[in-house]
Amino acid sequence: MRTIDKLANYIQSTLWFRVTLINYLLLPFSLVYSLIRNLRYYFFQTPVHFKSKVICVGNSVSGGAGKTPVVIRLAILLKEGDKKVAVVARGYKGVLSNSKEAIKVDLDKHSYREVGDETMLVAKYADVFISANRALAIKEAQKYGAEIIILDDGFQDNTIHKDLSILVISSAEIKNKFLIPAGPMRESLNTSLKKADIVIVPENKQYALQGKYLVGKEVLKQGQVISNAKELEGNQYILLCAIAQPDRVVTTARELGAIIKKKHFYPDHYSFSERELKVIYKQAQKYNCKVLTTTKDYVRLPQDYLEDTAVLKYYVEFDDEEKLREKIYNLFD
């Protein structure tokens, strides 16, 4: 890994998951970050209204909240109705996200390097339009007839009017509640709760969500379903992860009965080099096993490595999906 990647990995996997002297020393920078963010949000951004209904799915932390599976599940639920649905995303880490025009993602044409890895996952289930300028992408989606826009991320963007805001709370316990860069928080949880209409929490975690910002909010639980759980049970793997909070993947794999021989963690959205992959897959050959990874990491692997790779396939379900769908369709009444 390059030095900057090693630094990113340290920040995401270590610095942001504990509170030490270094975190306290970074607090002045967090205050500056908070000041700039608040000034921009409240004084320099004005929400633009669109003909389509905009459903924002966001979080409070920088990565690792499990937002993408929620976006996918929401897209599947809404496509079962009579409204045309599209997803708008920034295409994070994709070179086309900074294009002067909004891009409609084409899985047969685009790669993760062009549109981003998470975008590639979502595009399997719905039309996706990307741009660093979210308003531009929404306008492009409307040209294709989208009546409901699922805005992937955007809680901290006040340039878009949201008809409904859904806050996804991470399944991992956030011990460090400092703002960036001293911690992983984009904004405080209470600030996000204030904006949210619906709050989605993991069903296997107990959250004592209280306070005035929860009054009138709908709280839904999401469950994680592993579609290939039986395939993983009892098998040995070399684990390869380049996502935020990779320890959650380790826990899930072991709960399913998978035997993890070695672990290789990289920064979120990391592009693996050929040299790194050769070392990892050679190690898998030594143990006579496959490399286990996530669906998000899988889309970043070259074709030559796919046959020797197992994927932890999972999706989420909500405890009252019909009620959620009705709440969104009621926006049209």
- The response to whether 68 counts as a known ligand-binding position is yes
Check: CB of residue 55 under 8 Å from CB of residue 150: yes
Residue 213 and residue 200 in one domain? yes
**DSSP string covering 142-194:** HHTT-SEEEEES-TT--SB--SEEEEEPPSS-----PBTTTSSBSS-HHHHHH
What is the span of the domain harbouring residue 171? Answer: 53-83+147-223+316-332
3-state secondary structure of 219: strand
Residue 200 and residue 237 in one domain? no
Domain contains 170: yes
Alpha helices for 44-111 (secondary structure H): 67-79
The CATH number of whichever domain residue 217 belongs to comes to 3.40.50
- The response to whether 99 counts as a known ligand-binding position is no
Domain contains 186: yes
Tally the domains of the chain.
2
Residue 170 and residue 288 in one domain? no
Residue 58 and residue 189 in one domain? yes
Instruction: Give 238's strand partners.
Output: 262, 291
Please state, as a whole number, how many other Cβ atoms lie within 10 Å of the Cβ of residue 2.
8
- The response to whether 64 counts as a known ligand-binding position is yes
Gyration radius (Cα) of the chain, Å:
20
- The answer to whether the predicted template modeling score (pTM) of the entire model surpasses 0.85 is yes
- The response to whether 46 counts as a known ligand-binding position is no
Residue 65 and residue 172 in one domain? yes
Residue 190 and residue 69 in one domain? yes
Residue 188 and residue 240 in one domain? no
Angstrom distance (rounded) from CA 292 to CA 302: 15
Domain contains 245: yes
Domain contains 264: yes
Domain contains 156: yes
Residue 277 and residue 322 in one domain? no
Residue 217 and residue 275 in one domain? no
pLDDT in tens, the chain (333 residues): 778 877 877 888 888 888 999 999 999 999 999 999 999 999 999 999 999 999 999 999 987 778 999 999 999 999 888 889 999 999 988 999 988 899 999 999 999 999 999 999 999 999 999 999 999 999 999 999 999 999 999 899 999 999 999 999 876 667 899 999 999 999 998 899 889 999 998 876 655 555 566 677 888 888 888 989 899 999 999 999 998 888 889 999 999 999 999 999 999 999 999 999 999 999 999 999 999 999 999 999 999 999 999 999 988 999 889 889 888 998 887
- The response to whether 225 counts as a known ligand-binding position is no
Residue 69 and residue 168 in one domain? yes
